[in-house]
Chains A and B, each alone.
Chain A
């Protein structure tokens, strides 16, 4: 027992002796940890993928004098086209009807504008011409269409024709209605009581007369049907 007591005393002594060094070790470790973060200027620069974009502001080499490049906004279509739909319609009308004859023919201010109840003849670039009583005119800009009704082989046939269609070569007024129709749409003409039937006779008479006028046999000066102005006759502008 006597031998262990001094050993214990000695070990406590060792502990006491070593205490300052242990403390110092702790301090060193703390200091190293602290040093690893604080002085960034002593560290090697991080790889580019880890570099912050904001770092450039603190960097002394890249000063704030370098301005960020800005671009002007794209041109505003809204400012350019305040009435986009109308412009779009006008653009397509211009393309489909470069001379403007079809637009003029169906213009409301035109005194010879085709009206419902008139007999119209539409000639196509491909296929046979179609004639019929105009039941309805749908004014929708470039989508403007006319509804023609005729009887062929005892069967009623109705056809919507788009007046700006590239396939439509000419629209001619064969015969005017005797009286102005008191309705905008003459759908009642589908009923047997009001059905006009075939317009074959009227069209035949019109074509015969047109042939005579164009050949000059008839001494009638019709601007729309004269041979001198076939373009306007084709488009039907001012047809009688």
Chain B
């Protein structure tokens, strides 16, 4: 149930670590897995983490604290029921940043994502993720 002021973990390598939801583009409802939201980057990886020789340096510098970005929710602590009766919940809320055109900002996603992304036409994020449930 992602709504205004919800803090989410950002699990891609765009450089943001913690973001705050400021708007849900799925109007008048809380956000679920696969929904597009607008977030403010609250915490980003410091520049020192990515050394000069690090290949992800450019990716890490993509976003800064205070940036307003679009994101896709990939995990929710709220239970999600599937068509076959299975119910899945995660321990945290997480998202991955995307550009205005819908392309993911990061090049990889570290962690598990919900399989609901497939039905929400977010297969690109699903393929970037290391694992999906």
A117 to B130, CA, bound (A): 28
- Are A159 and B111 interface neighbours, CB within 8 A? no
- Are A165 and B84 interface neighbours, CB within 8 A? yes
Q: Is residue B51 contacting chain A, with contact meaning CB distance below 8 A?
A: no
CB-contact partner of A153 in B88, B89, B131, under 8 A: B131
Q: Is residue A162 contacting chain B, with contact meaning CB distance below 8 A?
A: yes
Cβ-closest chain B residue relative to A154: B111
Q: Which residues of B contact A145 (CB under 8 A)?
A: 85
- Are B92 and A165 interface neighbours, CB within 8 A? no
Task: Give chain A nearest CB distance to B83 CB in angstroms.
Answer: 10
A80 to B94, CA, bound (A): 54
Chain B 30-51 per-residue mask, 1 if CB under 8 angstroms from chain A, else 0? 0000000000000000000000
A157 to B131, CA, bound (A): 12
CB-contact partner of A167 in B84, B91, B131, under 8 A: B84
Q: Which residues of B contact A130 (CB under 8 A)?
A: 133
Q: Is residue A160 contacting chain B, with contact meaning CB distance below 8 A?
A: yes
A205 to B116, CA, bound (A): 31
A156 to B84, CA, bound (A): 22
In this complex, how many residues of chain A approach chain B with their Cβ under 8 Å: the count is 18
Query: What bracket does the count of chain B residues touching chain A fall in?
Result: 10 to 19
Q: Which residues of A contact B110 (CB under 8 A)?
A: 153
**Known contacts A152-B112, A153-B112, A154-B111: A159-B85 contact under CB 8 Å:** no
Cβ-closest chain A residue relative to B94: A155
Q: Which residues of B contact A166 (CB under 8 A)?
A: 84
- Are A161 and B91 interface neighbours, CB within 8 A? no
Q: Which residues of B contact A156 (CB under 8 A)?
A: 90-91
- Are B85 and A152 interface neighbours, CB within 8 A? no
Q: Is residue B87 contacting chain A, with contact meaning CB distance below 8 A?
A: yes
A162 to B87, CA, bound (A): 9
Task: Give chain A nearest CB distance to B116 CB in angstroms.
Answer: 13
CB-contact partner of A158 in B89, B111, B112, B130, under 8 A: B89
Most buried by B among A155, A156, A161, A162: A155
A77 to B110, CA, bound (A): 57
Q: Is residue B27 contacting chain A, with contact meaning CB distance below 8 A?
A: no
CB-contact partner of B90 in A127, A157, A162, A167, under 8 A: A157
A157 to B75, CA, bound (A): 10
- Are A155 and B90 interface neighbours, CB within 8 A? yes
A166 to B84, CA, bound (A): 9
Task: Give chain B nearest CB distance to A121 CB in angstroms.
Answer: 15
Task: Give chain A nearest CB distance to B94 CB in angstroms.
Answer: 8
Task: Give chain B nearest CB distance to A195 CB in angstroms.
Answer: 9
Q: Which residues of B contact A162 (CB under 8 A)?
A: 84-86
Top 5 nearest A-B pairs (CB, nearest first) are: A156-B91, A160-B87, A162-B85, A153-B111, A152-B112
Q: Please give the residue numbers on chain A whose beta carbons come within 8 Å of chain B beta carbons, in ascending order.
A: 127, 130, 145, 152-162, 165-167, 190
Can you list 24 contacts pairing A with B, beta carbon distance less than 8 Å? A127-B115, A130-B133, A152-B112, A152-B133, A153-B112, A153-B130, A154-B111, A155-B90, A155-B92, A155-B111, A156-B91, A157-B89, A157-B91, A157-B112, A158-B89, A159-B86, A160-B79, A160-B85, A161-B86, A162-B84, A162-B85, A165-B85, A167-B86, A190-B91
Q: Please give the residue numbers on chain B whose beta carbons come within 8 Å of chain A beta carbons, in ascending order.
A: 75, 79, 84-92, 94, 110-112, 115, 130-131, 133
